Amino acid sequence: MKKKLLYIIIPIVLIAVAVVLIILFSKKNRPIVEETKVVEEKIPELYGEPIEGWMLYTDTVRSGDFLGTIMGRYGISPQQVDKIAKMSCDTFNVTLINLGRPFTVFADTIIDSIPQAKIFVYENSAVKFTKYDFRTPDTIFIEKFEKPIDTVNLEAAGVIESSLWNAMINNGYSWELAIVMSQTFAWTVDFYALQPGDWFKVLYSELYVGDKRIGIGDVQAGVFYQGGKELWAIPFTQDSTECFFDSVGNSMRKTFLLAPLEYTHISSRYSNARMHPIFHKVTEHLAVDFSAPMGTPVYAASDGTIVTRTFGTGAGYYVAIRHNSVYSTVYMHFSRFGEYNVGDRVTQGDIIGYVGSTGWSTGPHLHYEVHENGRKIDPLKFEPPPAETVDSSNLERFNKEKRYWIDKVNSVKMK
Ligand SMILES: [Zn+2]
């Protein structure tokens, strides 16, 4: 009987000891857990100000609002608003508030049902905000801040059916990615000539402020398959600048010829106002005229696609080349064309025409235009981005990093 009791008691005691030990250990552990929690927990802040003790008011700029009228609603006197206007240089221009932008007021008291602002924060953008601090009597501190931006790395892949735009939308990517990609691949991919079946894989980033997505960051690396070729964008830093290179270490950018022909002199420069030689009126001349003997060959200033090859009343026989989504060049008054037709790819130095005097022209010359995003810029001041190659001393490092990026991009799954 005693023995039997022991059989029952011993396990019970053992279990009890175990339970006590577990409780003791968990009690012992608990404060440590709590301690780390306390460390992680931050005093709640808004725009860098601890919110404790404040009455907070948040609203957005409405139609007809000025900074002064908004601040007036929160107890800021016209004298103080005037002071802000006087101390505000361009960066703090008080008139630069936009409809719909949020603002927050930190008030400490309410007088005659008007909250008395001590701090006024205006959100200039999703990232930037301006803080007006009225806490010190007779002094207003104005400071601009930027919220910390978080970068999230993502990947995208798609097959072109009609356009890059549609490929983005159909695969659920943002349209902004199409824009960033067209910039990254501007010098190598002809986005106007994409064919069904062309494809891309890219690594890119999105930017966040807190939980709010504020847009696309950069393409980090990627490949575009067009015209039977893989066109790579591989990031590499040399001479402390990061550029994209192709898979053999050539810069993705192409140079432009300083002048697309051998000329004798410049007969007319880029100008917003010049006397037109034929019409004797002051007109703009958003081009350069290079005088040269009749028949002098004119070269493609850079690689591109012939998009125009025709006769114009003023331009005479002329050619336009689209180099990428940013740059085009136009060549006028040819006596005759070169061997390239509309749609043909040309490489820098290919002869596209010969100097003449067709159209509105007083003598043999080439009228040369450079278009940047559709705007005519001064061809003589045009400084296209440099087209450097990976330096031979950096090739070993480039090849290692290239392997890393190519493997990473290749591992992106096609949707
Ligand atoms: Zn001209």
pLDDT in tens, 7-58: 555 555 555 555 544 444 444 443 334 344 445 566 788 998 998 999 999 9
Cα 199–chain centre separation? 22
User: What is the 170 CA–ligand 1 centroid distance (Å)?
Assistant: 45
What is the tens place of the pLDDT at every residue in 34-46? Answer: 344 445 566 788 9
SS3 call for 186: coil
Q: Averaged over 79-99, what is the pLDDT?
A: 72
User: What is the 333 CA–ligand 1 centroid distance (Å)?
Assistant: 9
pLDDT for the residue numbered 15: 56
Write down the number of H helices and E strands in the chain.
6, 24
pLDDT for the residue numbered 34: 39
CA distance readout (Å), 386 to 266, 374, 382: 25, 21, 12
Q: In which band, very low, low, confident or very high, does the pLDDT at 250 lie, cut at 50, 70 and 90?
A: confident
User: What is the 398 CA–ligand 1 centroid distance (Å)?
Assistant: 45
User: What is the 361 CA–ligand 1 centroid distance (Å)?
Assistant: 8
**Domain 265-377 maps to which CATH number in 3.40.50.720, 3.60.10.10, 2.70.70.10, 2.20.25.90?**
2.70.70.10
What is the tens place of the pLDDT at every residue in 298-351? Answer: 999 998 899 999 999 999 999 999 988 788 999 999 999 999 999 998 988 899
Q: What angle do CA 234, 184, 190 make, to 5 degrees?
A: 110
CA distance readout (Å), 205 to 174, 219, 377, 404, 414: 12, 7, 32, 18, 18
What number of other Cβ atoms are within 10 A of residue 343's Cβ?
10
Domain residue spans in the chain? Answer: 46-146, 150-245, 265-377
Show the beta-strand stretches assigned E in 34-191: 45-46, 49-50, 55-60, 102-111, 114-123, 128-133, 141-146, 150-159
Residue 56 corresponds to which tokens in the numbers above? Answer: 């907070």
User: What is the 268 CA–ligand 1 centroid distance (Å)?
Assistant: 7
User: What is the 257 CA–ligand 1 centroid distance (Å)?
Assistant: 18
User: What is the 87 CA–ligand 1 centroid distance (Å)?
Assistant: 48
Q: In which band, very low, low, confident or very high, does the pLDDT at 74 lie, cut at 50, 70 and 90?
A: very high
SS3 call for 95: coil
What number of other Cβ atoms are within 10 A of residue 382's Cβ?
16
Percentage above 70 pLDDT, the chain: 85
Cα 235–chain centre separation? 16
Closest CA to 94 of 124, 114, 118: 124
**Amino acid letter for position 87:** M
User: What is the 188 CA–ligand 1 centroid distance (Å)?
Assistant: 30
User: What is the 329 CA–ligand 1 centroid distance (Å)?
Assistant: 13
Residues lying with their CB under 5 A of ligand 1, a single-atom ion? 287, 289, 367
User: What is the 286 CA–ligand 1 centroid distance (Å)?
Assistant: 8
Residues, the chain: 415
Cα 323 from Cα 306, distance rounded (Å) = 9
The answer for residues whose C-beta is within 8 angstroms of residue 68's C-beta and 6 or more apart is: 78, 81, 85, 94
CATH topology of domain 46-146: Nuclear Transport Factor 2; Chain: A, (3.10.450)
What are φ and ψ of residue 318, in 5° steps?
-140, 160
Closest CA to 49 of 166, 134, 162: 134
Closest CA to 107 of 56, 49, 47, 61: 56
Assess whether the region 46-146 and the region 150-245 belong to the same CATH fold.
yes
Cα 130 from Cα 122, distance rounded (Å) = 5
Q: In which band, very low, low, confident or very high, does the pLDDT at 283 lie, cut at 50, 70 and 90?
A: confident
User: What is the 314 CA–ligand 1 centroid distance (Å)?
Assistant: 10
User: What is the 5 CA–ligand 1 centroid distance (Å)?
Assistant: 115
Residue pair 304/325 in contact (Cβ under 8 Å)? The answer is no
Q: What angle do CA 403, 404, 405 make, to 5 degrees?
A: 95
User: What is the 39 CA–ligand 1 centroid distance (Å)?
Assistant: 71
Residue 354 corresponds to which tokens in the numbers above? Answer: 């010969």
Q: In which band, very low, low, confident or very high, does the pLDDT at 182 lie, cut at 50, 70 and 90?
A: confident
Pick 87 or 56 by higher pLDDT.
56
DSSP bridge partners of 144: 130
CATH topology of domain 150-245: Nuclear Transport Factor 2; Chain: A, (3.10.450)
